[in-house]
């Protein structure tokens, strides 16, 4: 059951707007209450101090407006947000049931990339093999968002061992659904389309050049611009901003620019879900504060010795755990600095 989006509102949305909001990702579990005189909308794209918002009022007519919003808004707007509107002004961001986050470029805060998600499509190209560490980090980020991860292996037509890579992927992210695709041959596209039905809001998460825009083209037959990938495998950004697309399959897709490994946010929940095998072993250690690095009675170390746990996976887990610790320290230092910061004395 999804949370009720009741932020002090006084009434439900007009019933003749139901089809509009369902096309934007609303389901039977979403109950929106908005204040009298205000209307409901969903953000499709943000342009600096303005945002395109798709809304509907009592007449049942869909409207797309370029809306303004104030600096005092309760949240920074992102694509996927449900909002309250007063005319063409966003007055409130409704509670987010899920959100994809990364470290803010300022080095201390967290930046929301997309919100109100059901599915995070981890888009990974396999024409040059599988980047295990990147996939693990993407999975951590997806789990931390509150949405369900789903791995999409792309460029299968350019891989000579796609089946082997798909099998390897099941070991990297156990329990996560995996789909092998090719935008060129059409392999897997219908299966992907079936996942993106009415009531599903998905986001594509992957590096530049992974084939995200090509997937969107294959799904919709659209003419969204794609650009060539360099010989190193690094693509240029065909997607340069975060945008909401309504799909012919009935679902909603949020397309965001390619993300780099250093941009990934690590949370404890996502880490434990992605490395559930190691989390299970850690629960069997003799001591609760075991560091899993030579401590007496360590079940993780025992699994390494018996080859039950691969050294590469253990090392990737250690790296991710270290990144989590660093991000936690940076966040703590930032909060302390904000609390102790004093205003400048008035100039004389």
Domain residue limits, the chain? 5-93, 99-263, 275-337
Residue 11: what pLDDT?
A: 65
Phi, psi of 284 (to 5 degrees): -95, 0
Looking at residue 234, its pLDDT comes to 42
CATH 2.40.50.140 describes domain 5-93 = yes
Q: What pLDDT is stored for residue 228 in this prediction?
A: 30
Alpha-helix residue ranges (DSSP H) falling in the chain: 18-22, 132-145, 162-172, 189-195, 212-220, 268-274, 276-282, 299-305, 311-340
Nearest CA among 256, 316, 342 for reference residue 132: 316
Q: Read off φ and ψ for residue 147, nearest 5 degrees.
A: -100, 175
Spans of the chain, pLDDT less than 50: 1-4, 6-9, 225-240, 334-348
pTM: 0.77
> pLDDT by residue (tens digit) across 183-194?
999 999 999 999
| CATH code of the domain occupying 275-337 | 1.10.40.50
Task: Spell out the CATH class of 99-263.
Answer: alpha beta
The pLDDT value recorded for residue 310 is 87
pLDDT given at position 70: 79
């Amino acid at each position: 059951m999804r949370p009720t989006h009741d932020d002090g509102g006084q009434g439900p949305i007009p019933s003749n707007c139901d089809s509009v909001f369902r096309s934007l990702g609303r389901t039977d579990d979403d109950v929106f209450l908005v204040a009298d005189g205000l209307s409901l909308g969903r953000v499709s794209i943000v342009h600096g101090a303005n945002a395109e918002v798709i809304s509907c009022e009592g007449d049942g007519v869909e409207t797309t407006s370029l809306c303004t919003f104030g600096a005092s808004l309760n949240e920074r707007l992102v694509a996927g947000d449900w909002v309250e509107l007063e005319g063409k002004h966003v007055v409130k961001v409704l509670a987010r049931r899920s959100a994809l986050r990364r470290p803010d470029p300022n080095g201390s805060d967290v930046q929301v990339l997309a919100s109100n998600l059901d599915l995070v499509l981890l888009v990974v190209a396999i024409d040059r093999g599988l980047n295990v560490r990147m996939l693990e980090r993407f999975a951590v980020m997806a789990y931390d968002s509150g949405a369900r991860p789903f791995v999409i292996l792309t460029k299968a037509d350019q891989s000579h061992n796609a089946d082997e890579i798909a099998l390897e992927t099941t070991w990297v992210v156990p329990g996560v659904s995996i789909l092998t695709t090719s935008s060129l041959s059409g392999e897997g596209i219908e299966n992907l389309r079936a996942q993106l039905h009415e009531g599903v809001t998905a986001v594509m998460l992957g590096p530049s050049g992974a084939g995200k825009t090509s997937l969107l083209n294959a799904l919709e037959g659209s003419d969204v611009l794609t650009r060539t990938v360099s010989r190193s495998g690094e693509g240029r950004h065909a997607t340069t901003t975060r945008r909401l697309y309504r799909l012919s399959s009935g679902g909603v897709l949020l397309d965001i620019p390619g993300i780099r490994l250093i941009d990934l946010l690590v949370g404890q929940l996502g880490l434990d879900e992605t490395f559930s095998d190691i989390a299970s072993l850690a629960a069997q250690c003799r001591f609760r504060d075991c560091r899993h690095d030579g401590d007496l009675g360590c079940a993780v170390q025992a699994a390494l010795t018996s080859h039950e746990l691969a050294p590469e996976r253990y090392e990737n887990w250690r790296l991710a755990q270290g990144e989590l610790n660093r991000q936690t320290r940076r966040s703590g230092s930032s909060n302390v600095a904000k609390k102790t910061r004093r205003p400048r004395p008035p100039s004389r």
